Structure 1
Amino acid sequence: MLTIDLNQSDVVSERHLQTVTDVMLRAKKTIVVTGAGISCSSGIPDFRSADGLYNLVKKQYPKTVLKGKDLFDANLFRDCTTTAVFYTFISELHAQTLKAKPSPTHHFIKMLSEKGKLLRCYTQNIDCLEEELGMETKLVCEKGKVKKDVNVVQLHGSLRKLKCTLCSEPYGFITDYEKVFREGEAPDCPKCELNDGIRVAQGKRKIATGTLRPDIVLYNENHPFGEAIGRIQLSDFQKSPDVLLVMGTSLKVHGLRLLVRKAAKIVHANKKGCVILVNKTPVVGKEWNGVFDYFIEGECDHWCHIVQDALRKVKVQTKLPFKPLTTEQMEKQKQAQKEEKQEQEQSSDKENFIPLSLYKKQKPGSRKRPFAAMMGK
């Protein structure tokens, strides 16, 4: 894996960056996988910052100790207090996502779709910002069939939808429901209440009624449309994608790791296939050896701006000269980059070298300039 630091502007880094840009310009079937990192500039605050959502919830529930991951674990429903914390947290998160705007990275993904380069986008995010740009996220039509035109597959569900815990009836996340959640409670399901009222009016016994919860997939839960997502993935893999682009995620979720490794294997089966990771931090673990060809270290928005500008300038992608680098070529480029860095350091040392003669005491009447003057002070 060749690492390219977006904060470096040396010749070698620029050359590598151009190579990756050429990959995207020539790409015809790109699978994109995204995480929370692409929404950081959208206005959604970091959960863990001083004024983040975790601390906001802790102020309301000071005696409750929950880690960030625990707030998205289905086991929290076993306890009334942790359930209340979850509902309060979700109400605040929902309010923040409604204020958020799509980031430059979201616009970049939309541009790939418009140019016919996007095969599919798989996202871990539940903020639904792709919908703001008109991208299709609905997996299944009313007849229960998988929609072929879905642009974005929401792997963890949607924060803009609710569902009944008993009858699974879907609802929109309206303001009235948000207010109930903010108090740590769950709204009652209107459909269940209606059915119960009808039975009571008929003199029949009361039946159980469900409550509403966010239509998101928590840890230790199965995705309600898992089978449909599996079909879409299989369909995408059969189309021989030529690029896998992973952005804004450290790939810590088990299911996503499996998806990325499988997709990378399919892409590498294509002679011109390339797998790219764009993130502020690298992925950790031996399992990623040989998976990624390039790691773009830096902000997703920064890199997307670079490629987007290039896409706007190029009209005919088939004329772009590009040939994917072999492993041997990558190693040579790494060595060249290392040697160039060493040369720059040696050159810098020479420039900063001060001859011993300059420190010697000058003879009376000497016309030599003092040392400070010679150094431009």
Structure 2
Amino acid sequence: MDDASPATVPEKEDVDASDGRGNKLDSINHDDDKNGLRPSSSFLFPILVEDDSIPHSGPSLSQNNPSLREIVQDKNKIVFITGAGISTSAGVDDFQSRSRTKMSSRNMLDISAIWSEEFLSWSRALYNICSKAQPTPFHHFLDELASTSRLLRHYTQNIDCLDTSLHKLSSRTISLHGRLDTFIYTMCHEMKHVPFAVYDDTFGFPCEECRLKSERRKSGGKRGLPVGVWRPKILLYGEVSPDAEEIAATWEQDALDNVDAVVLVGTRLKIPHTRKLAYSLCRSSKSRGGTVIWMNRVPLESEPTTEQPPEVFGIDHVTRGAQVEQSRPPYPPPT
């Protein structure tokens, strides 16, 4: 992960799954870019507001504009890139909201602070919430798309594991920043699933087999072996993802596929590497006639730490509502 990147989306972006309103942008006038993505300087990005006193450019929200479900109803290879906004309705806050301790969120989420009491308390509290949370209607909507093989991939910046009980969605999900329910061993990088009930008994403890092996060597007059400890497999400031190569390979594979819709949901794309990956996928899809959808309460903005301004993403639709909970009867809790 880039040094300026947090472990997950560091902002709270609620997705209104019942609003059902969208905003279709005016047609984009493309220049001579060979991929047909880069828009002319006349492209205006709308700011999503309901308060008419706030100035905005581009068309305003309209009750008659299509919902996300309507926009993707004829799409067969859809990629979603999601952030904290798809989980807040389940009671899972973003990193900034959960990290109000004596340490700043930036310092507490640095790899150098992983063994601090503040990080342990924060991660334990977050995992406790996540272990009790249920997938939202939006998660079920994604699972529905996965069940019909229309969801090609779901890239998420979230570490909340809410997709776990939705098996079709889980099989299509790439966790860009790791998962709270997975621990990695600091020495050999072995991984294992860790239920919340044994979280405190695992975090920071050595692998018992490695410890005993080292003790046996010392008992035989040999030098002991280094013994690592277990830690949550979530990406922090100042470290590189152990899944970086696998993620890059999957992303490149998807970029070469005929993706006919890229949906950016519940994220402001503030993290440089995620924004870059989203841009490359949007560019590839647009070059093949695909559609790009932005779903958030706020617009995509320029970031001083990133190189991709909003206009190069080629966004075709802006929507605040998915109407996903209206497609079928209420979903029962997972068993």
Q: Give the structure with higher Rg (CA).
A: 1
- Residue 288 of structure 1 aligns with which residue? 310
Q: Which residue of the other structure, out of 215, 225, 242, is the alignment partner of 1:197?
A: 215
1:266 counterpart = 2:299: no
Distance 2:182 2:310 in 1: 35
Contact persistence 2:184–2:190 (CA under 8 A): yes
Aligned residue identity for 1:279: N
1:275 counterpart = 2:292: yes
Task: Provide Cα deviations, 1:188-240, integer angstroms capped at 9, x if missing partner.
Answer: 22232122122134332322211111011212221112111111111111111
Query: Deviation at 1:246?
Result: 0.8
- Residue 76 of structure 2 aligns with which residue? 28
Map 1:60-79 → 2, pairs under 5 A? 65-77=102-114
Q: How many residues align?
A: 273
> SS at the partner of 1:284?
coil
Which moves more between the two structures, 234-243 or 27-36? 234-243
Map 1:1-377 → 2, pairs under 5 A? 2=25, 3=46, 13-17=62-66, 21-45=69-93, 53-55=98-100, 58=101, 65-77=102-114, 83-135=116-168, 137=170, 150-175=171-196, 177-180=198-201, 186-271=204-289, 273-285=290-302, 287-291=309-313, 292-297=315-320, 303-304=321-322, 306=323, 309=326
Task: Provide Cα deviations, 1:308-362, integer angstroms capped at 9, x if missing partner.
Answer: 64699xxxxxxxxxxxxxxxxxxxxxxxxxxxxxxxxxxxxxxxxxxxxxxxxxx
Structure 2 residue runs without a partner (length 5+): 1-23, 26-45, 52-59, 303-307, 330-335
Aligned residue identity for 1:54: S
Task: Provide Cα deviations, 1:60-112, integer angstroms capped at 9, x if missing partner.
Answer: xxxxx4222333222435xx6xx332122111111111011101111111011
Contact persistence 1:164–1:210 (CA under 8 A): yes
Q: TM-score, normalised by structure 1?
A: 0.65
Distance 1:262 1:94 in 2: 32
Aligned residue identity for 1:296: T
Q: TM-score, normalised by structure 2?
A: 0.73
**Inter-CA distance 255–45: structure 2 relative to 1 (3 Å threshold):** closer
Query: Deviation at 1:277?
Result: 1.0
> SS at the partner of 1:129?
coil
Contact persistence 1:41–1:103 (CA under 8 A): yes
> SS at the partner of 1:214?
strand
Distance 1:307 1:198 in 2: 58
Greater RCO between the two (CA within 8 Å, min separation 6)? 2
**Inter-CA distance 98–259: structure 2 relative to 1 (3 Å threshold):** same
**Inter-CA distance 310–14: structure 2 relative to 1 (3 Å threshold):** farther
| 4+ residue segments displaced more than 3 Å | 3-8, 45-49, 174-177, 307-312
Contact persistence 1:136–1:151 (CA under 8 A): yes
**Inter-CA distance 175–30: structure 2 relative to 1 (3 Å threshold):** closer
Give me the CA root mean square deviation: 2.9
Distance 2:184 2:72 in 1: 39
> SS at the partner of 1:93?
helix
Identity within the alignment, % = 28
Task: Provide Cα deviations, 1:255-278, integer angstroms capped at 9, x if missing partner.
Answer: 11001111110111122x110111
- Residue 61 of structure 1 aligns with which residue? none
